[in-house]
Structure formats: structure tokens, C-alpha cells
Amino acid sequence: MSTQPTNRRLTLTALSRKKAAEEPITMLTAYDATFACRIDAAGIDCILVGDSLGNVIQGQRSTLPVSIDDMVYHTQAVSRGVEHAFLIADMPFMSYRDNVTAANSAQRLMAVGGAEMVKLEGGQPVLQQVRFLTDQGVPVCGHLGLTPQHVHRLGGYRVQGRDQRVREQIIKDAQDLQQAGALMLVLECVPVGLAAEITKQLRIPVIGIGAGPKVDGQVLVLYDILGLTVGHVPKFSMNFLVDGRDISAALSAYAEAVRNRTFPAPEHVFD
């Protein structure tokens, strides 16, 4: 299957069609114009300007120190390198603590940064903000499972949803986020069966990271697929910069592996 970009900008409508057609959606993070341009040229469907920049760019221990100013700056940079991919930006820690703050943050990320969708973490506590942003015409992506902004409350970077109570809560949160107006959902570090169940229940695209192959698409941190990870390498990741590939070939290999459903493989998933 070709990974070459089309001549038109990808839209939410096109992403929804991919879900309906069971055509896997590809997504990677980016933090600057140069990498964004390379990712775009590889035909990746979506680019996420992740608050993971706190870890991989700033050298922080978590995403918590990342500010809205940081996110706007990096989203602007990425947007300059994108012609085809759909551009999503993370709302950083405490930048959506209430409706007014959420609206101000979304306005900056979209009107100034150039994002086409904003992503926020959590379920029940953020439903009001999701409804409010949706009513203002802001496309929202939810994020459930392992939510890095809640790392201290979760007790570390752990798989979520193995306990029946937590599993049921994640399912309910996913349904409620869709009902509140979210148009996409990221599931991070959850058992493969839970991810498959949620994907089947929801109308909106479900993108996995450590959620197995039975979702609508995959996202990984750019630096992880290029073998640049410092310290612990996530189980759900894979180095595509091998076998003599250059960066462009590695990006295309990732896109092909997702679209051919050879990634994630069994060794990348959680039971």
C-alpha cells in the first residue's frame, strides 16, 4: 500500500472514512518543522505535537513542566512543515482546568499555533470542558488509559485497565467523551482486549499507543521509532531506523507496517 501523501489536506471526515473502511490510520509526534516535513512527505496521516516534548526535547522527567507557551511555539514550528497531514496539539497540564482556561488554550493552539484539533487527557473530570470546546467549534481528541499528566496519581507509568473496576471506568469514559463531542480518542497502555472492545463500540477513530492492533490507528513518539530513546525503551515501541535505512525510509517503513497491520506485533502489546 502506498504511503505517498495526497495533494489535499487530510480532514476529520477523511479519518472517519478510514475507520469505516477499516483502513488503519497512521500518526507520529513531531516538535519542529524539519521533522514535520519529513513525516508529511512519508504520507503519515496525522501529526501530534505532543507534550512528550517535555521528555524528549526539554529533558524533563515528565510532561508536567510543559507550558502552553511551549506548546504554541512547537505547534507553530510543526505547522510550517505540514502540507497534507492532519495536525493535532496536546493541551498541557492544567491548561484546561476550567472552561475559560480551556478555551483560551485551544484558541492559542489553533489560531496562533495552527493546530486543527486539540487533545486533552482524562475522562469524567474533563467532560464539561470537552462539551464546552465542542460547542465553540473546537475539534477535541480525548486520551484515556495511561494519561502521563496524571503520572503521580497513577503511581507511575503503568498499564491501565487490567483491574475490572478501572476497565469499566475506561469504557464508560470513552463512551462519555464521544457523547460530549470528542471526535477522536487515544488509548495508551491498555490491554489489547479492552482496546478492541472500545474501538468496536465507538463511532469515532480510536488511536492506540501500547493498545494492540485492534484499534483504528497507531501513534508513536518520533524519537522512539528512530532509536533515539534515552533510558527505558517502551515495550510498545519499535526502532524502524535499522537495516541501513535513513530517516525518510524509517518513517515510510513505520507507515507501511501500520497499514499492513504488521505493527504492533504480539511482543508490543499488553494482555
Q: What is the CA radius of gyration of the chain?
A: 17
In DSSP notation, 210-264 reads SS-SSSSEEEE-HHHHTT---SPPPTT----S-TT--HHHHHHHHHHHHHTT-SS
Query: How confident is the model at residue 232, as a pLDDT?
Result: 86
Q: Could you give the number of structural domains in the chain?
A: 1
Reading the block at residue 55, the C-alpha cell is: 521528555
CB contact set of 236 (below 8 Å; sequence gap of 6+): 189, 209, 210, 211, 220, 264, 268, 269, 270
Active-site annotation holder among 188, 197, 256, 267: 188
Number of other CB atoms surrounding residue 194 within 10 Å: 26
Which helix (H) or strand (E) segment holds residue 209: the answer is: strand 206-209
Q: Determine the 3-state secondary structure of 267 from DSSP.
A: helix
Does 148 reside within a domain? yes
User: What is the domain extent for residue 165?
Assistant: 12-268
d(CA 79, CA 188): 25
Burial of 241 (0-12, 13-18, 19+ CB in 10 A): middle
Bridge-based pairing of strands 140-145 and 184-188 is parallel
188 is catalytic: yes
Give the single-character DSSP code of 92: P
For 175-200, the three-class secondary structure string (H helix, E strand, C coil) is: HHHHHHCCCEEEEECCCHHHHHHHHH
Query: How confident is the model at residue 7, as a pLDDT?
Result: 62
Does 191 reside within a domain? yes
Query: How confident is the model at residue 1, as a pLDDT?
Result: 44
Reading the block at residue 154, the C-alpha cell is: 497513577
d(CA 207, CA 219): 7
Does 5 reside within a domain? no
How does pLDDT run along the chain (271 residues), one tens digit per residue? 444 555 689 999 999 999 999 999 999 999 999 999 999 999 999 999 999 999 999 999 999 999 999 999 999 999 999 999 999 999 999 999 999 999 999 999 999 999 999 999 999 999 999 999 999 999 999 999 999 999 988 888 899 999 999 999 999 999 999 999 999 999 999 999 999 999 999 999 999 999 999 999 999 999 999 999 988 889 999 999 998 889 999 999 999 999 999 999 999 999 9
Does 151 reside within a domain? yes
Give the single-character DSSP code of 58: T
Does 1 reside within a domain? no
Does 39 reside within a domain? yes
Nearest to 65 by CA among 53, 74, 73, 54: 54
Does 211 reside within a domain? yes
Does 258 reside within a domain? yes
List the CATH number of the domain containing 23: 3.20.20.60
